[in-house]
Amino acid sequence: MSQSFEDPRSEPGEDVRRRRLLFRAEHRGTKEADLMVGGFVRRHLAALSSQDLDELEAILDMPDVDLTDWLTGRRPLPEDARLPLLLRIMAETLGRPAQGRGA
């Protein structure tokens, strides 16, 4: 059974955008990033806002090595990468509450 990400309130083409982002999130290039980023996106994609989708596109443009290091806590997240959605992904991955930009 296929999972639908279509929201009846969304604009035409939004479902296509969500499917493309899911594919990109699950096919990052490294297994670790595929599991962490792709898993989060699969679980939450239907509920992501348009702004979240914009942030997801920016996150998917980040290098796998950096994402993996940040999401596993090997390196701290730099200030310029502190997107609210990335903080949510980190919080879920690391099992802690998300912290905003001011934290």
d(CA 86, CA 93): 10
pLDDT in tens, 39-91: 999 999 999 999 999 999 999 999 999 999 999 999 999 999 999 999 999 99
pTM of the model: 0.80
Which pLDDT score is estimated for 13? Answer: 83
Average pLDDT over residues 19-37: 94
Please give the torsion angle defined by the CA atoms of residues 3, 8, 10 and 15, in that order, rounded to the nearest 10 degrees: 30
Which pLDDT score is estimated for 29? Answer: 86
Give all domains of the chain, ordered by start, each with its CATH number.
14-94 (1.10.150.250)
CB atoms within 10 A of CB 84: 14
